[in-house]
Amino acid sequence: MDASIYNAAVSGKVMVTPDIMIITIDTDEPRKEFEAGQHTLLGLYGFEKRSFNSEPESVPADKGKLIERPYSIVSAKSENRRFEFYISQVKSGQLTSRLFNLNSGDRVYVGTKISGIFRLDETPDGTDIVMVATGTGIAPYISFLRSHIIERPESKMVVIQGGAHHWDLGYFNELTFLEQTFANFFYVPTLINADNHWDGYRLCIEDLLKKDTLQNEFNITPDPERTRFFVSGKPDMVKHVSEWLHDFGYTRHHPDDPGEMYVEEF
Ligand SMILES: Cc1cc2nc3c(=O)[nH]c(=O)nc-3n(C[C@H](O)[C@H](O)[C@H](O)COP(=O)(O)OP(=O)(O)OC[C@H]3O[C@@H](n4cnc5c(N)ncnc54)[C@H](O)[C@@H]3O)c2cc1C
C-alpha cells in the first residue's frame, strides 16, 4: 500500500509508562516559524500495525485512509524540523494505538501547517501567567517555557500540574530545574493518589485553587487585569477551573473576542 504522503521520520521515543510517550519526529522539509503552544497534525494510515497493548478499536479504522489528529508541539518555537510530542495512548483509539507502535526511523505524516490560538505571545507584557494542566495538557507549557521564560523576567509564571500518581507528572525534572533556575518561575505539582514518598500537595487542582494557594504562596491574584490563565487537559478539570475563573470576571480568549483565559481540552 502507498504511504508516499509520509513526510517525516521518528528520531526518538521515550516510553514514560506503557501508555505515555515522548516522541521526536524530524520532518523532511522545515516548517514555517510557529508560536509556542500551537499544534500540528500527525497521521498514519489505517493499514499500519497497532501497539501490542492496544485494545479493539471503538470505531475500526479504514485501512486505506490517513488517520490524522492534532498534537501540541512541546519543542521551543526556534525548532523548524525536529518536533517533540507528549502523547497518551487511548488504547481503543485509531491513531495513538498506531503511533505507539512506531520506532526510530519509521515514517509518519506531519501536517504542513502549525496553528492554534493557545499562545503565550498574545498575553500583555508584565502580566502574571498561570498555567494549569492535567495529563498531556502540560505539552504546550513546556513549549512556552522553553521559548519565552528568559524574555519575561518581569512576569511571575506558575505551572500547576495535577495527576493521580508521580508518573502522571510529565516533564517533572525539567519543571523542577526551571524552578531552581528562574526566580520568577514556580512549579506546583499536586497528586491525589501518591504514595508515602510524596511530600507535595495532595489536592485536586480545583481544590488547590479554591484554597487560595496562588495568593498565599506567590501573591498572585485571580484578577483578569493582572493575571492571565491557561487551562489545558481533561475536559472536567478544564470546565471546573473555567467556571471558577468566570466568577472572578475572566472570559475565554478568542482572537476576535480577546479574553484573559486560554483554554484547550484534550
Ligand atoms: C488542539 C489539540 C491538541 C492536542 N494535543 C495532544 C497532545 O499533545 N497529546 C495527546 O496525547 N493528545 C492531544 N490531543 C488529543 C488528540 O488529538 C487525539 O484526540 C487523541 O490522541 C486520541 O486519538 P485516537 O485517534 O487515538 O483516538 P480516537 O480514535 O479519536 O478516539 C477513540 C475513543 O476514545 C475517546 N478519546 C479520545 N481522546 C481521549 C483521551 N485523551 N482519553 C480518553 N479517551 C479519549 C474518544 O471519545 C473516542 O470514543 C490534542 C487535541 C487537540 C484538539
14-58 pLDDT, tens digit each: 999 999 999 999 999 999 999 999 999 999 999 999 999 999 999
Strands 128-134 vs 8-17: parallel, antiparallel or unpaired: unpaired
pLDDT at 1: 64
Q: Which CATH class is domain 8-110?
A: mainly beta
What value does the mean pLDDT take over residues 93-97? 98
Has domain 120-265 been given CATH number 3.65.10.10?
A: no
User: Which sign, positive or negative, has the C-alpha torsion 169, 120, 37, 22?
Assistant: negative
Residue 69 CB less than 6 A away from ligand 1: yes
How far separated are the first and last CA of the chain, in Å rounded? 32
Q: Say what the pTM is.
A: 0.96
Residue 141 CB less than 6 A away from ligand 1: no
Rounded-to-integer distance, Cα 67 and Cα 46, Å: 6
C-beta separation of 214 from 156 below 8 A: no
Residue 72 CB less than 6 A away from ligand 1: yes
**Ligand 1, atom 19, residue with closest C-alpha:** 69
**Counting atoms of ligand 1 from 1, which one is nearest the CA of 99?**
26
In the chain, where are the structural domains located? 8-110, 120-265
pLDDT at 230: 98
**For 156-166, what is each residue's pLDDT tens digit?**
999 999 999 99
**Ligand 1, atom 7, residue with closest C-alpha:** 71
**For 181-203, what is each residue's pLDDT tens digit?**
999 999 999 999 999 999 999 99
The pick from 71, 91, 234 for probing ligand 1's pocket by mutation, whose C-beta has the most ligand atoms within 8 angstroms, reads 71
| pLDDT surpasses 80 at 154 | yes
Rounded percentage of the chain residues whose pLDDT exceeds 70: 100
User: Which sign, positive or negative, has the C-alpha torsion 179, 183, 185, 188?
Assistant: positive
**Ligand 1, atom 5, residue with closest C-alpha:** 71
C-beta separation of 95 from 70 below 8 A: no
Only one residue has cell 480577546, namely 258
Residue 93 CB less than 6 A away from ligand 1: yes
The distance of Cα 61 from the centroid of its chain, to the nearest Å, equals: 26
pLDDT at 188: 98
pLDDT at 4: 87
| pLDDT surpasses 90 at 133 | yes
pLDDT at 122: 87
Q: Residue 252 gets which letter from DSSP?
A: B
